[in-house]
Structure 1
């Protein structure tokens, strides 16, 4: 008798349809009021940027992913500049005495920061630990100086001139940003073994969409023009995919993002122990829990899990000649006086 099973897969048509409807709604919003469309598009990316920071920052003490932590801090400042960019947009009427050049300058600063951060993040993957305070301080200094160049010293290069459109500095900057993003993509793929396949896929798509977005922003003459609209659509899509890579994966499959290095280390340790035929035990003196590998049971003459080895049983298994010394040395380890390294005989109680 044969048994047939149907494995249901999550249909992708529903998310695609939902996304298409939302994008269509945004487009129709732009026809009604472009300023409203721009605000909604920027708010979407700002919320995701702050979410990435909040997620990475609150997990910084338990994760071993420098890439995520570094990007999380960077996106805090990217989101902050995008807020000012949104408020400074033509028609908002918040920053008096400024024209369309101001939001364009802020846009360039945010995109430089984002692209450079994506590139630098690839080079700290192998670092054991990064100093969060230094990364925060560095971003704070860079953003503060950039804002001073615009608002106080007013010497930041012009990016948009009313009546003529984008300046050469703005266009060249967009090309440079695109090249930086392409470089970050290159180095990311060179270290693809550090990422889960799905996470890597989302990151690659996000960076590619960001490049398309930047290139779209090299054509517009009006800040309400078609290429400006297209650029913001691609920005929304790029932030959606980085949201999938970091937030969704981090919450639903943390082992693929937060603890991937730890998981790989545990697998390597398991293979090494099998190859050396060693048994291991780990005694948590605070919780009283005692971990034993299967080989450890076998070395004592038991089947794995045949007996429950509590701290009391652990003491009973010690040879009488070694018991006093082992207990004394382990107590010194608990009190922080020494590292527990010892050789002793074991046997059945």
Structure 2
């Protein structure tokens, strides 16, 4: 069906008046001329067919390298030599007088011989629909046939075809019928091989063969060189040659050019609408053409970038960067030309018309003397990669924090238990040595250091987000003065420590211990940065600060405008640009091995964040460092400055306390401490033992102090069973774990190890007093 459709489409084209207008006009003109001068008619008719034959050859030759059509090449070569023989026929025609010949039928012999050659050409042409042609061999072969024909006719070896006054010989008439038969076989052969023909070619060639047959049949009635049969035969021949020429030109020139134009239009549309910025660039850098995406990406029109200087100035306004970009582009073009490769892809920072700077990957493909440059926008991808790197860095930091938290969390319980045993025994030793003041003072110093060690564990837990801290309101103004006193002995006498504090009472809610650790850490870092500095100086200052909209938008975690501004600065060596992004990372240190853990500034950052504040770094390599700390101010809250140290711890009235702890040293120490406070004590080393003792003494036990984590049975389970025995049982817990962590597990912690004697005494007194009041 598809094949028949193509044939019908071809015949529809054949019936188009545009196909026939030229031969009809020429034929009409030639017929008119024949009435005036028949010899002129014959000459013009033959001249037309000669020109057509040469044109077929020229078109076939010059399009063969592109079309690769062996069939049409074969026809072009054959018709070239047919045109040559037709030219000899025209020269020998009766009355021309161009070539002198004694034989009257030479021009007819050339005609009939040429028609034999034409019929053989048409019957053999389909062989080259599926075979490649050797153009030179075919040209020489037909040239040889033409030469042999000329020699045979002019040498008198060709049969007589026409006798003057008598007419055509039997050979001539029989030859016309033989030629018609060969042409008919050529038509059949062409039909059989039509599937190998280009679409629409079969109707033209088949019609041309039929017209050639009609011409030959007309010549069978040939009587006179100037007779009507000769005229009709030449008109049919004209039409036949024209159709063959038309089909060759249409398929080898018109159709390819049409396809080329359509392909070019598709390409232009594709380039124009392609979602990739393209520029057609000369090797000097002038952008001669751009697509729509280029205009949309950069905002420039073709006119705005039409010169190399203007484009470079627009794309690279910075003169130094522009020169770099020009040098790199020219170098890449030269390298690509030498190696026969495409232009290397490189990243450039290109400025758009609206001022945006985009990261572009520019590459190029050489097209003759020009370059088709592609501009790929990498800005979003680069931003995403940067964000991914930041996220990855945060993930690694979180892993480090988790590892640190696991480490500290694992040792905090045992460490706090040991500290609790130490502080308890130190208190008992201090009571025994009350008559020796110097010993008492030294014991108090060790007690203080022990509790500071516990606070350090608490801070590390908080830093690793494994702990909680109690936030209370306190004034920063006296706080700064106290820190100065503590820090003065820590720094060298050659370093000047300047303190500047405002007179306002700047109250914040937080942990004074934590903030003290932050400031001391910053001052210690400042001291280390002043090693080889002339006139070294550290400045510590405090002022009120009111945040504006820009500051609040920069730090979204701040929820108030009134802030305390704490500044720690030095005139030391400063911090390099490569170190600044990592300065608050855990385990990152710029100090020598053995002189820094990489946790100090990370803990400072975590502590300030836990206070709802921010910490900023301002430093120039070689020109000092300044840390800015901003803490939210509170107003209207009372600050408890009362102290009960002078009153001493509250004592008991012989109440019986059940003390439960698996640590033998801590159990015995705590037992002695509680006894020293005026209480009686029963002890148990685990939950099972505690239940047995409570069952036997439930009516006498006023309060149970229960450790949380113990072998055999922990404090939480033991307390449940004790409550089942006596719902009114009074139980408080003590633990070396963090309060917040235990609270998440549903446990109400009252005493955190290590606890001071005052904490223990006040807790027992307050708890027993509340219960007595309830009764």
Q: Which TM-score applies when normalising by structure 2?
A: 0.31
2:78: which partner in 1? 74
Residue from 226, 241, 253 that aligns with 2:228 = 226
| Deviation at residue 28 of structure 1 after TM alignment | 1.5
**What's the Cα RMSD here?**
2.8
| Deviation at residue 181 of structure 1 after TM alignment | 1.1
2:256: which partner in 1? 254
Larger RCO, structures 1/2 (Cα 8 Å, 6+ apart): 1
1:182: which partner in 2? 184
Partners of 1:309 and 1:119 in 2: how far apart? 55
| Deviation at residue 111 of structure 1 after TM alignment | 1.0
Change (3 A) 1:91 1:189: same
| Deviation at residue 25 of structure 1 after TM alignment | 2.1
Where does structure 2 lack aligned partners over 5 or more consecutive residues? 1-12, 260-338, 344-360, 366-373, 375-775
Contact 1:202 1:241 in 2 (8 A): yes
The one-character-per-residue Cα deviations of 1:285-326 (angstroms, maximum 9, x if unpaired) are 95749xxxxxxxxxxxxxxxxx99989x9xxxxxxxxxxxxx
- What is the count of residue pairs matched by the alignment? 257
Contact 1:30 1:37 in 2 (8 A): yes
Q: Structure 1 or 2: larger strand share?
A: 2
2:142: which partner in 1? 139
Partners of 2:341 and 2:205 in 1: how far apart? 40
Q: Structure 1 or 2: larger helix share?
A: 1
**CA radius of gyration, larger in:** 2
Partners of 1:236 and 1:130 in 2: how far apart? 27
The one-character-per-residue Cα deviations of 1:109-155 (angstroms, maximum 9, x if unpaired) are 2111111111111112111x22122212211221111111112x311
| Deviation at residue 17 of structure 1 after TM alignment | 6.1
Where does structure 1 lack aligned partners over 5 or more consecutive residues? 1-8, 258-284, 290-306, 314-349
- SS of equivalent to 1:74: helix
Contact 1:196 1:256 in 2 (8 A): no
Change (3 A) 1:308 1:253: farther
1:34: which partner in 2? 38
Partners of 1:244 and 1:18 in 2: how far apart? 10
Range moving further from structure 2, 72-81 or 13-22: 13-22
The one-character-per-residue Cα deviations of 1:245-300 (angstroms, maximum 9, x if unpaired) are 1123321103899xxxxxxxxxxxxxxxxxxxxxxxxxxx95749xxxxxxxxxxx
- SS of equivalent to 2:66: coil
Change (3 A) 1:20 1:138: closer
Contact 1:42 1:86 in 2 (8 A): yes
Partners of 2:160 and 2:189 in 1: how far apart? 32
Contact 2:161 2:169 in 1 (8 A): yes
1:98 and 2:96 matched: no
The one-character-per-residue Cα deviations of 1:67-90 (angstroms, maximum 9, x if unpaired) are 111111111100000000011100
Change (3 A) 1:287 1:20: farther
The one-character-per-residue Cα deviations of 1:14-60 (angstroms, maximum 9, x if unpaired) are 77566544322211211111100001111111111000101111223
Change (3 A) 1:97 1:18: closer
Partners of 1:243 and 1:227 in 2: how far apart? 24
1:45 and 2:45 matched: no
2:156: which partner in 1? 154
Partners of 1:99 and 1:67 in 2: how far apart? 38
1:326: which partner in 2? none
Contact 2:130 2:196 in 1 (8 A): no
Change (3 A) 1:72 1:223: same
Which consecutive segments of 4 or more residues in structure 1 shift more than 4 A? 11-19, 285-289, 307-311
Change (3 A) 1:36 1:255: same
Partners of 1:65 and 1:189 in 2: how far apart? 18
Partners of 1:105 and 1:72 in 2: how far apart? 23
- SS of equivalent to 1:26: helix
Change (3 A) 1:287 1:102: farther
1:206: which partner in 2? 208
Partners of 2:191 and 2:46 in 1: how far apart? 29
Contact 2:67 2:252 in 1 (8 A): no
2:452: which partner in 1? none
Partners of 1:104 and 1:173 in 2: how far apart? 12
Range moving further from structure 2, 213-222 or 131-140: 131-140
| Deviation at residue 172 of structure 1 after TM alignment | 1.1
Partners of 2:258 and 2:191 in 1: how far apart? 17
Partners of 2:257 and 2:197 in 1: how far apart? 11
2:165: which partner in 1? 163
1:24 and 2:28 matched: yes
Q: Which TM-score applies when normalising by structure 1?
A: 0.68
1:346: which partner in 2? none
Contact 2:54 2:83 in 1 (8 A): yes
Residue from 127, 130, 135 that aligns with 2:133 = 130
Partners of 2:116 and 2:126 in 1: how far apart? 16
2:218: which partner in 1? 216
Residue from 241, 244, 251 that aligns with 1:242 = 244
Change (3 A) 1:16 1:239: closer
Partners of 2:66 and 2:19 in 1: how far apart? 32
| Deviation at residue 66 of structure 1 after TM alignment | 1.2
Change (3 A) 1:288 1:43: farther
- SS of equivalent to 1:253: helix
